Structure 1
């Protein structure tokens, strides 16, 4: 009786729990892409970075027994992918988007090739904090059992929002992102700043991958991402390059992704699977709404490729 006493409140609780679980990779990928795009560069290769980070984290966790070493290893590989992308894109007449797609395919292929040996072994999971331990209802306990990376992502969003406005590095990043010529005029090397920003962005995206393989769903397989790296780019545009907006938008995407399982949990047996497509439909709608040949994107860095 205890499991059903909560009644219809189980639906919003299931959506809340699902939003927190599903949104965490979106948070890290979108925050990483926000840093990259604030510097005036777009990286569509984060899907490959996400999947390779998931594979790396899982493999290192299996071999060492430490999920946190897996996260650190994923961050390192993400930084390498971002550095390669940034280094190639600094050359004249090189298209950011084309290189991003190439890096995405490279990351996916390399992850699938190197990760075959780690599909069956079990890796230790990342810890979570039981904020719902005060309740006797298992639904509330599950909804408030929050992974540490989600909390880190929330704190990071606030710190980045503050840093973009109040630190010298944030100012430099915004200047480089808005005008390459203005940055050079005041003695800033735009290529170096964009290289660092792309490396940091790749590192954070790989943390999102580590969450997928080491917590939810908590395993390594070739279909682990489901396009979350690409959807996060749309999320950044939707959030207007605002880190706190990215966090809130990630929760919205996560809630949309949790809608199908929530309906299934209360006995909806027909049509619920259509709601599994909600995040993809939302991505499409956002891209349509934010695209216009007659107006620029508000808040977009002036040097960003998609604004030219």
Structure 2
């Protein structure tokens, strides 16, 4: 199990100008959001030590009788006081024994969503790929947040051409940028089809290269197209993003409407390296980096996407 460090909260930096960029980074310490419950069992024991020989009946119980009860019993006639004292001692023993029973803990509530269909890498990776086999994947312990992006590419594409489009994005990132793989963990087209991006397994917490400073314990979902202000965002696309986010966050029982604590690993992030940031569990790229991504139109749909994802997890 990984140990995570705490960092003090800092102030967001000003937005940078220039082209959007995502980065692959080394692992960083990130504060986890776990709660560890502990408990013990109350055990009753005798107040008298030693063997049973020569031991007075009920002697081990008398020390447990409340002082006020002893005073009252002392006012009773002889035999009545003795009988009452023994009955009271037996009653105390029963109470102590009863308190030793462990209380069953309530099972933790887990909200998960069904896994949506995902087209594997083999569905888009061309024969001329830079890497004949996928590079060794890097993993985190779990995914606690997703970042939504847009590819800032033309919108008027035929969905049948999407594999070629993704292969082109892959070539651009592994060629001029010299990355070992595509940075996004998933890509979604305007018809609502979800594609596997970075290698490593869609069900596993693969470390991506999509949000500088916050690539760890997160997944990057790229909407194929450009969704600046005024550009319509297809319902099929937002529904697919919601279904994907609901499933990935549900694997860690994360509410898509919640906020999570992450620690920045890079000074070029919106937050200085080592700064703890409280970010939406379903965030836009601009929440963690100085950029206009995922575009004003798609960013405006994020509240709706969060609510849809929460419903898919069975949350009220």
Q: If the TM-score is normalised by the length of the shorter chain, which range does it land in?
A: under 0.3
In the superposition, the TM-score normalised over structure 2's length comes to 0.22
Greater radius of gyration (CA): 2
- Give the structure with the larger helix fraction: 1
- Whose relative contact order is higher, 1 or 2, with alpha carbons under 8 Å and at least 6 apart? 1
Greater fraction strand:
2
